[in-house]
A and B are shown apart, each in its own frame.
Chain A
Amino acid sequence: MNRAQNAPVHLKPAPPAAGRVLDAQLHLLDRQVIDAEGLPVTTVDDLELEGVEADSPMTAGDPPPVISALLTGPVLGTRIFGGRPPSSRLIRLPWKDVSAVDVAIKLGVRSEGLDAGWVERWIRDKIIMRIPGGKHDPH
């Protein structure tokens, strides 16, 4: 049966949270990621959770999972046709590098050292820089 006729009718007020509350779809997924210098890095395609295994029964009192990394990768095809890329194809941005969550997600590190920006760096170094005038800002 796929109709939720058993969904609870009476809802309790949500318990107060001790910190800022973020809903993944509303505040994290698809947000632009900006590095410490304000340069765009990528967008958030997924989140990696640490401390929980899929389909593994949890016992009461187990500590809740935490976000260990923001994930980005080649998701266009899977968003159109379904599924998701294998975990090995997703690039991790560790949560410890995140400095703020706002309209965009800000990192506390420079993008030059991140795997997430390798495509742009490769295009810049191998293609753009070989175009006459491609080594400096436009006048």
Chain B
Amino acid sequence: MILTDVLGSRVTSSDGRYLGRVADARFVLDQPPPGQLLAGARLLGLIVSPHSAGSFMGYERNSVNRPWPWAQLLKWWHRGSFLVLWEDIEVMGPETVTLREGFSAYDPGLDGTGTA
């Protein structure tokens, strides 16, 4: 599967409610190395933005606040963004991503979870 097919897809709950669009995909390097160089990168989950299909520089996911007006604008634009884990994704496609019933929404912040 090609990742950009999923970026921008509509995200709906299991009962069809529209939740937003896929703004990004989060990976974690914790798999056995496929070669000898770097750990394998598994899909941890998807970042869902209720108001925008994309994300610019991830202001809503880190603590960077300069330049202040720009940071505030972008954080407001992406307000309500959340992380949904792989375990809660039922179908992933280029048009629609469907989440499982009772899915959990997590804070999408990067600070403290690894590299930012």
**Interface residues in chain A, defined as those with a beta carbon under 8 Å from any beta carbon in chain B:** 1-4, 6-29, 46-49, 52-58, 60, 64-67, 71, 84, 87, 90, 94-101, 108
Which residues of A have CB within 8 Å of B42? 64-66
Q: How far is the CB of A51 from chain B (nearest CB, A)?
A: 8
Using A21-B110, A27-B115 as known contacts, list a sample of 13 further A-B pairs with CB atoms less than 8 Å apart, ordered by residue number in A. A4-B80, A17-B30, A20-B29, A21-B27, A21-B114, A29-B4, A46-B4, A47-B2, A47-B3, A52-B92, A84-B2, A95-B34, A99-B38
Which residues of B have CB within 8 Å of A26? 24, 55, 57-58, 61, 110
Contact indicator A18/B28 (Cβ below 8 Å): yes
For chain A, what secondary structure do more than half of its interface residues adopt (helix, strand, loop), or is it mixed? loop
Contact indicator A48/B106 (Cβ below 8 Å): no
Which residues of B have CB within 8 Å of A3? 18
**Do A23 and B37 contact each other (CB < 8 Å), given the known contacts A47-B2, A87-B2?**
no
Q: What residue in chain A is nearest B115 (Cβ atoms)?
A: A20
Contact indicator A12/B26 (Cβ below 8 Å): no
Which residues of A have CB within 8 Å of B13? 6
Contact indicator A25/B86 (Cβ below 8 Å): no
How far apart are the CA atoms of A56 and B91 in the complex, in Å?
6
**Do A19 and B114 contact each other (CB < 8 Å), given the known contacts A4-B51, A12-B107, A53-B1?**
yes
In the complex, B35 has a CB within 8 A of chain A: yes
How far apart are the CA atoms of A52 and B24 in the complex, in Å?
17
Contact indicator B39/A19 (Cβ below 8 Å): yes
Which residues of A have CB within 8 Å of B106? 11-15
Which residues of A have CB within 8 Å of B107? 11-14
How far apart are the CA atoms of A24 and B28 in the complex, in Å?
10
Q: What residue in chain B is nearest A95 (Cβ atoms)?
A: B34
Contact indicator B17/A6 (Cβ below 8 Å): yes
Q: What residue in chain A is nearest B114 (Cβ atoms)?
A: A21
Q: What residue in chain B is nearest A68 (Cβ atoms)?
A: B34
Contact indicator B1/A48 (Cβ below 8 Å): yes
